[in-house]
Structure 1
């Protein structure tokens, strides 16, 4: 019984945390999830546990599809277009990897996701540093920071 309550509280906490998280952190969490599921898929292909490999590839692919669908191509400019191309490429690679049971293709997608995650991670401290500099410079009302991604 205690486990049921603990699990319910944990799920409620996670739901509240996700609803209050900023966009950058949400994207990083999505990358983390895709990396996790795809890494499990690679492990399961080696066993071989094809059902578990397929299930985890589908989960990773679903996260990439969500990232692709959430792009704002109008406001995101060249960055959004490049991300769209990358996500579409990764999605296609995962389809082929699933059909061919090719772990190397999955590993290549994981490496791309790790690189993108690293970029999003780096945006945070830099933006925070610029905001702090702007706020301490006296006339912060006329200064704006724009981080697009």
Structure 2
């Protein structure tokens, strides 16, 4: 029988392998997907009154935005679009921090919608040819 800890380790290895094998476009798509999953989990924990787990899920979402999505921006070559995305990501992080502090489900919904729109646009452009 596999323990929950072993299953978690296997899942982590699978995720890391998937990330390493993914194209840059797929990596960003994965970040958006994991961001939305973290927010859904945070909302469920908030509704259940499990505040520590809610905080952990929001922290995961914040890290995805700040260490994943924001870190992937090239502000020099990306021009105005990259700067606007950077500002949006900063706003979303602040919104998530307020959601966590205030236990505010509306802030979680707003943060999900803001990046949901960006994720939809990202998916619509599809993978670009990479050299």
Task: Say if 1:39 and 1:107, in contact at 8 Å, map to a contact too.
Answer: no
1:69 is paired with a residue of what secondary structure? coil
Partner of 1:118: 120
The 10-residue stretch of structure 1 (83-92 or 6-15) with the greater mean CA deviation from structure 2 = 6-15
Moved more, 69-78 or 52-61: 69-78
Quote how far apart the aligned CAs of 1:15 are: 2.7
Match of 1:77 in 2: 79
Q: Within the alignment, does 1:33 sit opposite 2:34 as a pair?
A: yes
Residue in structure 1 matched with residue 96 of structure 2 by the alignment: 94
Structure-2-length-normalised TM-score: 0.85
For 1:9-30, what per-residue CA distance to the aligned partner results, in whole angstroms no more than 9, with x for missing partners? 6654433321121111111100
Q: RMSD of the TM alignment (CA)?
A: 2.2
Kindly provide the CA deviation profile for residues 64-114 of structure 1, in whole angstroms up to 9, marking residues without a partner as x.
111112211001111111110110000000111111110100110001121
Aligned residues of 1:35 and 1:110 also touching (Cα < 8 A)? yes
* Separation in 1, partners of 2:61, 2:74: 21
Greater helix share, 1 or 2? 1
Structure 1 consecutive aligned stretches of length 4 or more whose deviation exceeds 2 Å = 6-17
Q: What is the alpha-carbon distance in structure 1 between the residues aligned to residue 99 and residue 12 of structure 2?
A: 32
Residue segments in structure 1 that go unaligned for 5+ positions in a row: 132-144
| 1:16 maps to 2:11 | no
CA distance in 2, matches of 1:59, 1:75: 28
Q: CA deviation at 1:42?
A: 1.0
Tell me what 2:46 maps to. 45
